[in-house]
Amino acid sequence: MLKMTYDQILDYLENNRLEQLKEKVNKLHPADTAQIINELPDEYQTLTFKLLNHEIASDVLPDLYDEVREEILENIQQNQLVKIIDEMETDEATDIISELEEEVSKEVLEKIDEEESRTIKQLLRYDEESAGGLMQTEIIAVYKSKKRDELIEYIRGNYEEVENIHYVFVIDDENKLIGILDLTKLLLARPERMAEDIMDKDVISVRVDLDQEQVANIFRKYDIYTLPVVDEENHLLGRITVDDIIDVIDEEASEDAYKMVGLESEDRVFTSPFSSVRKRLPWLTLNLFTALLVSSVVGIFEQTIARLSFLAVLMPIVAGLGGNSGIQTLTVITRGIALGELTIRNTYRAIYKEISVGLINGIIIGSCAMLIAYLLKGDIMLGVVLGSAMVCNMFIAGLVGSLIPIIMRMLKIDPALASSVIITMLTDIGGFASFLGLATVLLL
């Protein structure tokens, strides 16, 4: 159905029927509009966006791909942008403002609603990837002594400002968070009941500086829908809602998958080729150097290869298996860290396990390889050399594949950066050195 809509919109654009287009795009769900704009040819994206009324535009803008949004933000008139940002919730407005050039963002902050401007300036100070960077300040917070009907009237007065309320936060006189109140409970409460009588005192909250990955872990673990954010003295600052956490989870999963192979998050399917080239080149250059390092290790044994050229034929087997099992280990460990399963307490067990798996798999696969080499070349010693090198290599794979991300995590470097390049470099070096080294000793 969305495909039909897309074709229709493209048709309007190509025939310059902007009036019909305007009517159409302002009636769609903003999420659908965003998806369509993302997929439109570049030259139509800004044009289509400009046809949206401010309220719709404020919902569409955050859902656009970063590159599309960047282009639109550069081409939109400032007074339009001000109106759009005025319609946004503070968390999204902050994200947009932080993407503007400094000069533009200053001007916009002066022109938008004064209170919102103050809040955004406050929010801009938090790290984008922390609880503070995720939270919105539009919340319903009530004093503990308020009675049911007063609460309802308070919600009525603030209903327009806060989307998806679901929960009311209960605070004391000092604005400290003391409880959370599900609207269902409020709906069923007797009139004389006060907030503190019906609230849940076991409220889970997070400090404003907590990293977004850990915030996501709290949502994962406790199956909650909204999470209050507090400062170090438990003053209520804002809330994070679960829909934003889904974005965080997607972002972190992409990031982990991407970092492991040296990609930047912004390198998406439809990032322009030149931008992708620029983003991938540094890693490929690093890769060229690690490959040269591996090559220089092989170079040590050039004389051996000159005399026994079939060693070169078998080299891809040693390298392939070691590299792939190293990346398997790396993936298990990185994912375990991301999902919060791997803690400092159980680190040794994890490394021990991966080494064992590498060793056992190495013995099994190495034996097969030994047999195959023997059958192909009729040389039992060659089989022994190949098999031993593979055991050695897959042991190294288990060791470096687990140890390196864990060490990096201890050093507070993102473990996903222990990318495949480093792991395969180490398994290649280990594999070739043991294979060609053993061959030099046993076969020459």
Among residue numbers 171 through 190, which ones bind a second copy (CB under 8 A)? 182-184, 186-188
Q: Does 266 bind a second copy (CB under 8 A)?
A: no
CB 194 within 8 A of CB 147: yes
C-alpha distances (whole Å) from 370 to each of 133, 357, 380, 385 are 56, 19, 8, 8
Q: How far apart are CA 343 and CA 337, in angstroms?
A: 8
Q: How far apart are CA 398 and CA 331, in angstroms?
A: 11
Task: For a second copy, give the closer residue by CB, 79 or 346.
Answer: 346
Q: Does 360 bind a second copy (CB under 8 A)?
A: yes
Q: How far apart are CA 170 and CA 145, in angstroms?
A: 9
Task: For a second copy, give the closer residue by CB, 288 or 413.
Answer: 288
Q: Which residue type, as a one-letter code, is found at position 191?
A: P
The residue ranges of DSSP E strands in 43-111, in sequence order, are none
CB 239 within 8 A of CB 215: no
DSSP assignment of 271-296, as one string? Answer: S-HHHHHHHHHHHHHHHHHHHHHHHH
Q: Does 9 bind a second copy (CB under 8 A)?
A: no
Task: For a second copy, give the closer residue by CB, 178 or 259.
Answer: 259
Q: Does 57 bind a second copy (CB under 8 A)?
A: no
Please state the closest distance from residue 331 (CB atom) to a second copy, in A.
5
- Taking CB under 8 A as the binding criterion, the range among 25-33, 73-81, 112-120, 407-415 that sits at the site for a second copy is 25-33
Scanning residues 274 to 333, which ones bind a second copy (CB under 8 A)? 274, 276-277, 280-281, 283-285, 287-288, 290-292, 294-295, 298-299, 302-303, 305-306, 309-317, 319-321, 323-325, 327-328, 331-333
Scanning residues 405 to 434, which ones bind a second copy (CB under 8 A)? 420-421, 424, 428, 432
Among 357, 396, 408, 438, binds a second copy (CB under 8 A): 357
User: If binding means CB under 8 A, how many residues of this protein chain bind a second copy?
Assistant: 119
Q: Does 339 bind a second copy (CB under 8 A)?
A: yes
DSSP assignment of 107-142, as one string? Answer: HHHHHS-HHHHHHHHHHHTS-TTBHHHH-BS---EE
Please state the closest distance from residue 253 (CB atom) to a second copy, in A.
4
The residue ranges of DSSP E strands in 1-77, in sequence order, are none
- The 133-172 contact track toward a second copy, x by CB under 8 A, reads -------------------x--xx--x----xxx------
- The 227-256 contact track toward a second copy, x by CB under 8 A, reads ---------------xx-xxx-xx--xx-x
Q: How far apart are CA 39 and CA 14, in angstroms?
A: 15
- Taking CB under 8 A as the binding criterion, the range among 91-99, 130-138, 205-213, 217-225 that sits at the site for a second copy is 217-225
Please state the closest distance from residue 32 (CB atom) to a second copy, in A.
8
Please state the closest distance from residue 121 (CB atom) to a second copy, in A.
26
Q: How far apart are CA 237 and CA 131, in angstroms?
A: 10
Q: What are the beta bridge partners of residue 240?
A: 227
